[in-house]
Chains A and B, each alone.
Chain A
Amino acid sequence: MIKRTIIIAAMLGACCGSALRAEDTNAMPGMAMTNAPAAPTASTSPKPDPAGTATGSSADAQDAAGNHFVVSEPTALSGDDQKDTNKVAAYAIAKKAFDDYTAQARLEPLAVKLSDSVGHNRVAINFMWTLITGFLVMFMQAGFALVETGLCRAKNAGHTMSMNFMIYPMGMLGFYLCGFAFMFGGLGGIGTMGGYAGLNHEITWTIFGHPFGILGWKGFMLQGAGYDTAAFALFLFQMVFMDTTATIPTGGAAERWKFSAFMIYGCCIGSFMYPLFGNWVWGGGWLAMLGSNFPALGHGHVDFAGSSVVHMQGGVICLIFCWLIGPRHGKYDKNGKIVHPITPHNIPFVMLGTFILAFGWFGFNPGSSLAGTDLRIAVVAVNTMLASATGALAATLWMWWVRTKKPDPSMMCNGMLAGLVAITAPCAFVSAGGASLIGIVSGVLVVESVFFFERIGIDDCVGAISVHGVNGAWGCLSIGLLADGTYGDGWNSVPGTVRGLFYGGGMGQFWAELIGVITCFVTLSVLSFIVFFIAEKLVGNRVKLEDEIEGLDVPEMGVPGYSGVVMDKRYETPMPKV
């Protein structure tokens, strides 16, 4: 009773606080005019634009190659720089371009005025792209729900579905309250959507003279600096990615996870578990900075759409939770030998869910450009598609011809998803051949990984550890091998395109990816232990044995998932020979 009162009071408090709180909105001359915005200092934070009427201007007008219409004045050379002949020559060229532009602008003021609309339209295209692809990714929640419920038993359908359902609002609210601020509070300019740079507070540690971004600290509850249309679009897009991570452990740990313990996890995932590593890779934190800090590490840890940020994080949490919560009753006998595999109750759900996920992935990967005007999205989309196909085929054939002599529907689906997970990081940086190869490897990798975890006694109901964890890692490492150097100039503030080992890029990119992968594993393992431990102390994670055998729907949720349907519960749950 007291616990519940506290929770309700906290929620109401957060909402009231969010409505009443006024943050500073230091005024600064708006973004609308000619030059690219100067880097904001702490005392002159950029003005947020909640109405969207000051976002997108001539500063955003650019051609296909990224050359801006408006030419800004080059910064004057310091005394030291004037001794460098290269810098003097570069300055001369840039100054001439600026002078030419200024002269022409004087002659055609109407063209200059038109360029404001042109820039605005470009930004509008990018807003629309980001939002609509975000909506597609939200639909993946339905895909995950179907896949997970289909792979589990009928007597737990209501419970499994409910976890997949509630994780959406729970994760979202955690991300809204503080997760987004932690992850993107120090991002700086939202370049493709008008350049708003109000999210400019990154807690940074300086280690051996290099900056290591650790955590963002702006934009809590989308207030103040966070109440800007570009920030909102970014929030929606990033939130649905966070929810993808959030829903991964519900599959692995299903059929024995207490709903109350799951809800505690739900509070934690969006608010801090996901955003920490997320800040390090996507929020301008230290993993992204590896490249600019250490020239030997390529472009730092690169992850286009989230093989590590989204999928591997989810996979690691799933691994720790599955390991700590223990296998389902009846799956293993006393010696740890598998007694009776627990077969899926609804294969049509699983395959329908997989198709929904594959469709949603067209938002997941191409959307991560945050720009409909970045035409590389066509390559990203096709690479995504190819990897899904080769992943599915490779897994099917590996099962059929090599391992079990029968094509297995659940592995077909795991194979397609593994291919999708693996291509998520490299999708913008590889060729069609590279994408297909990545899919083939993931198809075989996921099968072997599933068998491995089953053998060592970790009961993963849906193969989430293998699909998301193992293949998330593979996806990142594949950038270090197969990035072909046709895209990514300036990624993570490192000049030049992203290039892997097989395309003459050396090992640097691979090491950077490996560091990111290891960091992900260590960080999320620690965080998962902490959250599991907290839930264990508060409510206990595992359901009672008799509830697990009877089916969780009625004891945990109060109503059967399938009323009136006769289930053979004894057959579904094999009794181990004691």
Chain B
Amino acid sequence: MKKIEAIIKPFKLEEVKDALGEIGIEGMTISEVKGFGRQKGHTEIYRGSEYAMDFLPKIKIELVVPDQLLDRAVEAITKSAKTGKIGDGKIFISTVEDAVRIRTEERGSQAI
């Protein structure tokens, strides 16, 4: 099992969700986060004073997939989240030790 963490632009969420649905992935967790990479922030001005908006809003998607779906999942996310402009985001992949479905107490790949 592999865990995918994808940081994407917020308005791309629906597209990514649909793209993952097309390859058979129906479950994920999302959170609203703030961050920056090489994009940096920008300055705004309020009542004559400049201020930096360093942290930009992003969406983080976390999902756990069976090994055989990993490459197709990453490709689906990449294609649907890309705009070609700076700030598109990043995907991180890690290995998951185990998983449990709470309702049935199934473990392992049965659980995801």
Q: Residues of A with Cβ closer than 8 Å to B?
A: 338-341, 343, 403-406, 408, 410-411, 450-451, 454, 463, 571, 574
Contact = CB atoms under 8 A, between A and B. Distances in A.
B49 A454 contact: yes
A192 to B, nearest CB: 43
B47 interface: yes
B47 A450 contact: yes
A333 to B, nearest CB: 12
Contact of B51 (A341, A408, A450): A341
A411 B45 contact: no
B48 interface: yes
Interface in B30-69: 45-49, 51-52, 55
B47 A454 contact: yes
Contacts of B48: 403-404, 450-451, 454
B45 A404 contact: yes
A502 B84 CA distance: 64
Interface residues of B toward A: which range? under 10
Contacts of B45: 404-406
Contacts of A410: 46-47
Contacts of B46: 341, 343, 408, 410
A343 B46 CA distance: 7
Contact of B47 (A405, A411, A574): A411
A340 B47 contact: no
B52 to A, nearest CB: 8
6 contacts: A338-B49, A341-B49, A341-B51, A450-B47, A454-B48, A574-B51
B23 to A, nearest CB: 34
Given A406-B45, A454-B48, 9 more contacts: A341-B46, A343-B46, A404-B45, A410-B47, A451-B47, A454-B47, A454-B49, A571-B55, A574-B51
Contacts of A338: 49
A571 B57 CA distance: 12
A163 B107 CA distance: 58
A463 B49 CA distance: 14
Contacts of B51: 339-341, 574
Contacts of A339: 51
Interface in B2-50: 45-49
Contacts of A574: 51
A341 B49 CA distance: 6
4 residue pairs, one from A and one from B, having the closest CB atoms = A341-B46, A341-B49, A338-B49, A451-B48
Nearest to B45: A404
